[in-house]
Structure 1
């Protein structure tokens, strides 16, 4: 029986990063992963294979098409007859995925991580560690890291299949749907809806909550809704789905909105109502692994489960279901196993929505800060007053800084606009070190750049913006 210091069950962002870091620290490591794409094993989990990476490839392709067909004329560029070759676009997406998943396999070889394709299951605890069933073969592990991720949540009235799809199906339509329905106005639903809207679909988004992006700062959610509606996305909030019926030609959704029954027909329906922990086949019940009432693996502050020598990280333990959060937990648990001080600061994890305009934030919203008792001051600055944004032809949105009026410490930063997925990193770094709005305002930013908007928003917390 092969023996390892660490066996990681799951090869997504949490699992493969934990395995690489453990191996870097000198621990004999194996990773057992059952994910398949195209009929063969493919490391990287949902994120690399059917989530974060392919969706961003499609977002970029669709944005380029939008630029050519609707915006190039403003730059003095005339393009006639532009059309979408969807097969080639999807092929490019798959090539990007192949490169990155292949890159993980290379990193495993480079760091001497044993990769085992198949299901991983906890079998029994022995005196010197755990016996794990790794794709039908038993291996011994001093420690086990559970990183099995999450799966799309099904709507009971609309099980996946046929014209009803989740995120992976929504990235593989064989043709652009004429009418596309999206149930769920969260990150995934809005991103995927944006892709197909730009490629020509008429998109309707149905959301049970009474408002849009209710976890974001109110100023951001208001601006985002305005921008998306201007683009042609149709939103309905506070709806209750009553029936979903499939036929050969499409799908019909009956929902209740403001006390009225409404029926809408779509060619395709994306259901994006959240994700659930994936523990099927793990052997949790037989091994005595404790789960909470929602099915997430219970852990303490050091990612230890109730079973000695068994740890868990990533989506399967709950919290923000973000790849970068999962990766940091993977690093932290590997370092803890090697005797280091692994830690994740959950207060400054960035959130990003890769729509156009992009949305990003980290830390507390203005309301959250006030609810926590802070004496709050805010500063806001628009991209419309920024030379680089105007040169790009995309002056939409703004940056908002939330700070403690008593100490000047930055409590949160919220952005909507061009390239804010990249701009948020600067503020996360500053917040990680307890930085102040003055620190950000006094930092020299190159001109002309989009990042100057971040500096100006920090200046605005003391009402001293220079360009407004």
Structure 2
């Protein structure tokens, strides 16, 4: 983490960007007061970018503190907890829960819904559930956390019974919310869209010269979305004509195996009124996946039936995050199934499964 943040600091210095460490607060739309280590400093600017990010959602009946931690504190523990309870089976909870299970913790996941990773369909989450079981993780679905105890977390099970899940640490991962407090948001006349700042396709807010990017502008709360927005806003301020017109933003769940989605899922495409064709190619028939002992999972393509234009691509498997660029590029470039099927994919690579998924969707699968 220090290397990553230090690298960003060096880039700022290299590009002659003045960096001030401190807590900033708006006095008005053009003026910010920074409370730094050496005292307060007032900064005025013609253009301002709000990039305050997001913070973990806290449960009112189980506030953060003592043995109740958020993902932030989980990354700064002095040791690996013997028993860890994870409240919430979304991507953050499972990413961290699986990591701690591999480090030796006995992990119990408590989820109020009837499935893990509810943003993904069951075909996508099945390999993850299989791996969690192999790691010895307990998953309590349809269970609700009721409060923290010294020896763990009290829950209400699916059948209405109360029990205590033994835990040294309780990791609460029930979502994140835009950080709109503590920096003078009330001093600005910003239009809000629910809990986040409303922006247009240029990341402009309702105030002239005030832009907002990243998590504070709502979903999807992804670092690569924020970076792309930041690049665009910098170019707009520099006088270039830019607007946000992305066709997809790949999302990755860094569990084991990894889960990747770009564009529309089959259900999302149907809900959008599309008549689709879709097929998947399993990694069990991919040579590279076999040598990596990562045969669980697949790549799936969703395409418009009439034109064969690719609408979405999903994958689950070991290391599939590295395919995100290829998936995003295909959708941004308006690729058809024939474009992917007609592109030579190097052997032996996991990318061959992408090629085979396109062929199979067209009805021409070679290796299955």
TM-score normalised according to structure 2 size: 0.94
Matched, 1:113 2:14: no
Which residue number in structure 1 is paired with residue 355 of structure 2?
A: 455
Number of equivalent positions: 364
Contact 2:85 2:152 (8 Å CA) reproduced: no
Which residue number in structure 2 is paired with residue 335 of structure 1?
A: 235
Greater alpha carbon shift after TM alignment, 336-345 vs 195-204: 336-345
Distance 1:291 1:371, change over 3 A: closer
SS at match of 1:119: strand
SS at match of 2:126: helix
Which residue number in structure 2 is paired with residue 325 of structure 1?
A: 225
1:271 to 172, 195, 199: 172
Matched, 1:406 2:319: no
1:281 to 170, 173, 182: 182
SS at match of 2:288: helix
SS at match of 2:157: strand
Contact 1:440 1:455 (8 Å CA) reproduced: yes
Which residue number in structure 2 is paired with residue 230 of structure 1?
A: 134
Query: Aligned partners of 1:374 and 1:291: how far apart in 2?
Result: 32
Alpha-carbon shift at residue 330 of structure 1 (Å): 0.8
Contact 1:181 1:206 (8 Å CA) reproduced: yes
Which residue number in structure 2 is paired with residue 312 of structure 1?
A: 212
Q: CA RMSD in A?
A: 1.6
What stretches of structure 1 of length at least 5 have no aligned partner? Answer: 1-96
Matched, 1:423 2:327: no
Alignment of 1:34-49 (within 5 A): none
SS at match of 2:131: helix
2:66 to 162, 175, 195: 162
Alpha-carbon shift at residue 269 of structure 1 (Å): 0.8
Matched, 1:367 2:267: yes
SS at match of 2:197: coil
Alpha-carbon shift at residue 433 of structure 1 (Å): 0.9
Greater alpha carbon shift after TM alignment, 204-213 vs 413-422: 204-213
Contact 2:54 2:177 (8 Å CA) reproduced: yes
1:388 to 269, 281, 288: 288
TM-score normalised according to structure 1 size: 0.75
2:110 to 206, 222, 230: 206
The one-character-per-residue Cα deviations of 1:294-319 (angstroms, maximum 9, x if unpaired) are 2x122222222222211111100101
Alpha-carbon shift at residue 280 of structure 1 (Å): 2.4
Alignment of 1:8-407 (within 5 A): 97-125=1-29, 130-135=30-35, 136-245=40-149, 247=150, 250-294=151-195, 296-407=196-307
Alpha-carbon shift at residue 175 of structure 1 (Å): 2.7
SS at match of 1:161: coil
Query: Aligned partners of 1:100 and 1:192: how far apart in 2?
Result: 20
Alpha-carbon shift at residue 255 of structure 1 (Å): 2.2
Query: Aligned partners of 2:194 and 2:299: how far apart in 1?
Result: 39
Query: Aligned partners of 2:50 and 2:234: how far apart in 1?
Result: 12
Alpha-carbon shift at residue 346 of structure 1 (Å): 4.6
Structure showing the higher helix proportion among its residues: 1
Alpha-carbon shift at residue 465 of structure 1 (Å): 1.2
